[in-house]
Structure 1
Amino acid sequence: MANSTPPPPGVYVPAVLFFDENEDLDLSSIKAHVLRLAQGGVTGILVQGSNGEAQHLSHEERKTTIRLARDTLNENGFKDVLVIAGTGGQSTRETKKLCSDAQEAGATHALVLTPAVWAPQMTVDKILKFHRDVADASPIPTMIYNFPTVTAGLNLDSDTIGALGQHPNIVGTKLSCADVGKLHRLASTLPAEKFATFPGSSAVFLQGLISGSAGVIGALPNVAPKAHAELYRLWKEGKLAEAQKLQALLGHADWELQKLGSIAGIKAIVSKHFRYGNTNVRGPLTPRDLEAAGPSATTKLEELIALEKSL
């Protein structure tokens, strides 16, 4: 715990997983996706974020996909690209086990959702205790994953996350609430060398950087990792006008992706434009048919993909 440090600033992607027609892991497509993301310049890959259908996987499948991501990166010269594992469970006991499994499989950090089956009973005191107990036991640093959409509306405020940020083994947060005000409060309170604050959406990537974020952990880099790395480069070089123009495109494309259903939409877009993978998801999710959605549903995504392929 003494060496607990946050992940370095940059572009992180909660990678989708691919399944075959029987809903079994499509290992070759998963490897192809991890490799394209790394080649696109991402700083790290989040395995089993919400886009990775974490709640649809067994514990063994979770370990397999973390190890597959780590091995694929190592074998292709991307040893410096991090693997972060989503380890949220519905009990403290299970979450501790998932953190231990993640470390054994090659992850450097764990991203932890707040349990929400019993949402009315999850008082602030219980939320604080859960995350601290997990961090005490975790062999790798943990991060707080705040995503009200998948936690029955539980939305941790900046006071709660800030209090958790004092723990020596809690080193960051992913704010999929897309609350830039909350992000700014945290980034201006907790030192960056101890705590990394990331927005969870490309729609506020640049806005987050301006407010002191460490980068982004977002779904859209599944489609366009190079474009996100380009925006980050423009920001670091002080080219704000160019960064704003690219941010506008990311914001529109991210909105289209949300309307396509995010997970299923990502798989449909990736399999169509990058020649690997398929549209299979695990039930109760259903695949997305881009033809049925119509060309107007992906106007900005098509523009972003054209840019991606030019970079």
Structure 2
Amino acid sequence: MAASLPPPPGYYVPAVLFFDENEELDFPAIEAHVLRLAKGGVTGILVQGSNGEAQHLSPEERKSTIAFTRKTLNENGFNNVLVIAGTGAQSTRETKKLCADAKEAGASYTLVLTPSTWPPQMTIDNIIRFHREVADASPIPTMIYNFPTVTAGLDLDSDVISTLAEHPNIVGVKLSCGNIGKLQRITSRIPSSEFAVYAGRSDTFLPGLNAGSAGTIAALVNLLPKLHGRLYQLFQEENYKEAALLQSKLGHGDWATSKVGGIGGIKAVISQNFGYGQTGVRGPLKAVDVSSLAQNKYYQTLLELIELEKSL
């Protein structure tokens, strides 16, 4: 197998999905969101990352939302914006099928969570075997998704990730663990032209870049794509002082999103400030009432950043 190339450096968004009052997919709102993100300059859109409620969707819904995202981008002149598909599942067999579906739906890469139903069974050898078997079968390059919060605490270390990086069809990792030491250990071993390491949170965007990352794939980009683009530009221009000031603001924004209700909160903030989408999530997640935002002290932090976003 010839070695696959990783995605380009930049800033990516694990996009939220919108539902109507019956918990059915709201395609007009999804379209509005995809286009606002693309106009905000994102390098790519991750469909069915953790913010996309992948585990709450049927296989058909997962495939249709990937295809709809790709179609929306193409029809509006954003052919260069990549689509990455989250293909995490609890069995190797289903994960392989989701990777094949992602390719058929127009995704360029897949992002694969480590299965976590049986944590005691997920030894290092078993984790490596799982990711290699998926990568062997996937018709498009795969990336590792390391997010201990949603994998029952399973946290892949730099040795495991570096071992997996030797596979010709495993081309990157999203580190939602926030561990900059781990990120730097990987980037110092493997060039980003062969294996791309992305910070998985906005509060590690600039620290990750300083440590050799390829950029970020972060939830806050749902609200602030242009500000993330601005920080990336400042870093490339070696304007580190301005970049650090903006990074501090994004760090507070990242914290605030976790305090306004997670995925439901992000949707409520979008609905209130960008004029599209309902706030519904699929249970057991909890929707956030837009009227409650004003009483949340963290919402003010987000409002200040959104005002800055709209000024760009």
What range describes the TM-score normalised by the shorter chain of this pair?
A: over 0.9
Whether contact under 8 Å (1:6, 1:172) holds in the other structure is: yes
Does residue 198 of structure 1 match 2:202?
A: no
- Aligned twin of 1:153: 153
Q: Which runs of 4+ in 1 moved over 4 A?
A: none
Q: Deviations over 1:256-279 (max 9, x none)?
A: 101123211110110000000010
Alignment match, 2:186: 186
Amino acid at match of 1:174: K
Give the Å deviation of 1:295: 4.6
Tell whether the 8 Å contact from 1:112 to 1:143 is kept in structure 2 after alignment: yes
Q: Could you tell me which residue of structure 2 aligns to residue 296 of structure 1?
A: 297
Q: TM-score, normalised by structure 1?
A: 0.99
Map 1:132-171; keep pairs closer than 5 Å: 132-171=132-171
- Structure 2 partner of 1:308: 309
**Does 2:81 correspond to 1:81?**
yes
Listed as ranges, the matches of 1:1-311 within 5 Å are 1-2=1-2, 4-293=4-293, 294-311=295-312
Query: What whole-Å deviation, never above 9, does each CA across 1:215-270 have from its counterpart, x for those lacking one?
Result: 00000000010000000000000100100111011000110101123211110110
Q: 1:9–1:215: 8 Å Cα contact kept in structure 2?
A: yes
Deviations 1:134-166 (CA, angstroms, capped at 9, x unpaired): 000000000000000000000000000000000
CA distance in 1, matches of 2:150, 2:296: 29
Kindly indicate whether the alpha-carbon contact (under 8 Å) linking 1:180 and 1:207 is maintained by their aligned counterparts in 2: yes
Q: Per-residue displacement from partner, 1:191-225 (whole Å, max 9, x unpaired)?
A: 11110000100011000000000000000000010
Greater shift after overlay, 282-291 or 172-181? 282-291
- Give the TM-score of the pair, scaled to structure 2: 0.98
Q: Distance in 1 between matches of 2:95 and 2:261?
A: 27
Q: Show structure 2 runs of 5+ residues with no match.
A: none
Deviations 1:160-196 (A, max 9, x none): 0000000000000000000000001111111111100
Aligned equivalents of 2:132, 2:180: Cα separation in 1: 25
Please give the alpha-carbon distance, in whole angstroms, between the structure 2 residues aligned to 1:137 and 1:156: 22
2:189 is paired with a residue whose SS is coil
The superposition leaves residues 104-154 of structure 1 with CA deviations (integer Å, 9 ceiling, x where unpaired) of: 000000000000001111000000000000000000000000000000000
Any conservation in 2 of the 1:11–1:228 contact (CA below 8 Å)? yes
Partner Cα separation in structure 2 for residue 8 and residue 257 of structure 1:
27
The one-letter amino acid of 1:98's match is L
Secondary structure of the residue that 1:288 maps to in structure 2?
coil
Task: Assess if the C-alpha contact under 8 Å between 1:15 and 1:46 holds in 2.
Answer: yes
* Residues in 2 aligned to 1:234 and 1:297: alpha-carbon distance in whole angstroms: 26
Unmatched tracts of structure 1, length 5 or more: none
